[in-house]
């Protein structure tokens, strides 16, 4: 069983079942990482589950050690802790245990951070649209927190889809970024606006329809094309598939090392 080598330094519950969690290594230094990469968090099956979680039936064998990948949301310039943006899957194995953690509690943090979902292969003169559902915003927060102020020569945009306004994590920070950085656009879109307590005057619907409707083209004043823009897609596999189809019809191509393109994908499940 791996040693629990990290601890929770900070936890913010942004909405029911959604939190940001900061994790610091104990007795070792965080290695460098590229914004957009992910780490692995782990806990033993013997760790308690949150009170909201569904009971595990049958109980998981106590010798099981649970590990899952999580995109890093903090800046790569932050050397003391990593921040994660997490949703609780109430029937899940690891997240109910992560949602039972409080500051000071220990967990396992894999010592290597990896992933190709970064800006490294995007030419510096291309605009970038970051499109994500739910916690698929996490890698974009790391990229923006690291690059926004230095990246003033191209346009950057976040299109974030969530059910409710209270599920729009990092909204205040993204609104603030938009105020301070004229080259950055924040476009939140809600899929269940009828449940809002205060009427929602922003965009509604699903991200692929929102894109097809020209939301970003209106905000930028020109229609993004494969010649000038790279697109990042992260989160729910249904959204990724629908967006990829939509973008391919517009001439964008998936990026791979062997065949460079303009669509970068990170599928969470």
Ligand X SMILES: Cc1cc2nc3c(=O)[nH]c(=O)nc-3n(C[C@H](O)[C@H](O)[C@H](O)COP(=O)(O)OP(=O)(O)OC[C@H]3O[C@@H](n4cnc5c(N)ncnc54)[C@H](O)[C@@H]3O)c2cc1C
> CA end-to-end span of the chain, whole Å?
25
Measured from the CB atom, the residue of 188 and 235 that comes closer to ligand X is 235
Q: Which two tokens stand for residue 44?
A: 């033993």
Which has the closest alpha carbon to 258: 121, 115, 131? 121
Measured from the CB atom, the residue of 92 and 208 that comes closer to ligand X is 92
CB of 72 to ligand X, least distance (A): 8
Measured from the CB atom, the residue of 136 and 188 that comes closer to ligand X is 136
CB of 81 to ligand X, least distance (A): 15
Q: Which two tokens stand for residue 180?
A: 């301070």
Q: Is the peptide bond before 58 cis (omega within 30 degrees of 0)?
A: yes
Measured from the CB atom, the residue of 132 and 224 that comes closer to ligand X is 132
Length of the chain: 269
Q: Which two tokens stand for residue 120?
A: 């490294």
How far apart, in Å, are the Cα atoms of 20 and each of 13, 38, 124, 165, 169? Answer: 7, 15, 30, 16, 9
Residue nearest to ligand X (CB): 92
CB of 232 to ligand X, least distance (A): 13
Residues that bind ligand X (CB under 6 A): 38, 68-71, 84-87, 89, 92-95, 134-135, 138, 266, 268-269
Q: Which two tokens stand for residue 116?
A: 């190709």
Measured from the CB atom, the residue of 85 and 170 that comes closer to ligand X is 85
CB of 126 to ligand X, least distance (A): 23
CB of 115 to ligand X, least distance (A): 6
């Amino acid at each position: 069983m791996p040693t629990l080598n990290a601890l929770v330094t900070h936890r913010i519950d942004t909405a029911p079942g959604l939190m940001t969690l900061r994790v610091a290594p104990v007795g070792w230094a965080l290695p460098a990482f590229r914004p957009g990469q992910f780490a692995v968090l782990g806990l033993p099956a013997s760790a308690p589950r949150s009170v909201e979680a569904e009971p595990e039936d049958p109980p998981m064998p106590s010798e099981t050690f649970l590990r899952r990948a999580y995109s890093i949301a903090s800046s790569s310039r932050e050397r003391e802790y990593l921040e994660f943006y997490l949703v609780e899957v109430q029937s899940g194995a690891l997240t109910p245990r992560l949602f039972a953690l409080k500051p000071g509690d220990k967990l396992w943090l894999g010592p290597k951070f990896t992933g190709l979902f970064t800006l490294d292969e995007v030419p510096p003169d291309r605009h970038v649209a970051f499109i994500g559902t739910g916690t698929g915003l996490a890698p974009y927060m790391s990229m923006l927190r690291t690059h926004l102020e230095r990246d003033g020569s191209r346009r950057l945009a976040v299109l974030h889809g969530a059910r409710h306004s209270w599920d729009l994590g990092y909204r205040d920070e993204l609104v603030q970024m938009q105020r301070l950085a004229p080259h950055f656009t924040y476009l939140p879109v809600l899929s269940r606006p009828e449940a809002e307590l205060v009427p929602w005057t922003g965009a509604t619907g699903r991200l692929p329809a929102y894109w097809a409707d020209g939301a970003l083209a209106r905000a930028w004043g020109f229609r993004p094309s494969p010649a000038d823009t790279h697109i990042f897609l992260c989160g729910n596999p249904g959204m990724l598939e629908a967006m990829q189809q939509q973008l391919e019809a517009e001439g964008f191509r998936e990026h791979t090392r062997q065949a460079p393109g303009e669509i970068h994908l990170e599928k969470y499940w």
